[in-house]
């Protein structure tokens, strides 16, 4: 339903880690028109090592670094930046166009 309505991003936080995926279609195929997913469950809980890993679609993953995802939504585009807690160094950032 989200794909048919033109969604660009899905945010979730169940897993205690940071993951960013390439835009994909409902059938799991990479596509510029697909939806990008961020999993950001990094609120100080221990990082889980287990869980499904979709390496072909995953673009970034970090376990054990608390932080937040900063999103800047614009007209026709969006930017993201993972901001780690004080004393941590991992970061991930980028931008993409909306469909």
Longest dimension (CA), the chain: 42
Are 16 and 41 spatial neighbours (Cβ–Cβ below 8 Å)? yes
Global pTM reads 0.84
pLDDT digit string (tens) for 26-36? 998 999 999 99
N-to-C CA span, the chain = 15
pLDDT band at 97 (very low <50, low <70, confident <90, very high): very high
Write down the mean pLDDT value for the chain.
88
> What is the C-alpha separation between 46 and 65, in angstroms, rounded?
9
Answer whether residue 48 shows pLDDT above 70.
no
Instruction: Count CB atoms within 10 A of the CB of residue 82.
Output: 20
Domain residue limits, the chain: 9-97
Residue 60 token pair: 């970034």
């Amino acid at each position: 339903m989200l794909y048919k309505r033109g969604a660009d991003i899905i945010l979730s936080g169940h897993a205690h880690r940071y993951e960013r995926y390439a835009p994909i279609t409902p059938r799991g195929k990479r596509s510029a028109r697909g939806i990008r997913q961020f999993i950001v469950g990094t609120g100080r809980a221990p990082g889980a090592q287990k869980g499904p890993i979709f390496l072909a679609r995953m673009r970034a993953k970090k376990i054990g670094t608390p932080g937040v995802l900063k999103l800047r939504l614009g007209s026709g585009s969006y930017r993201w930046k993972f901001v780690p807690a004080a004393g941590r160094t991992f970061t991930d950032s980028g931008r993409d166009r909306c469909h």
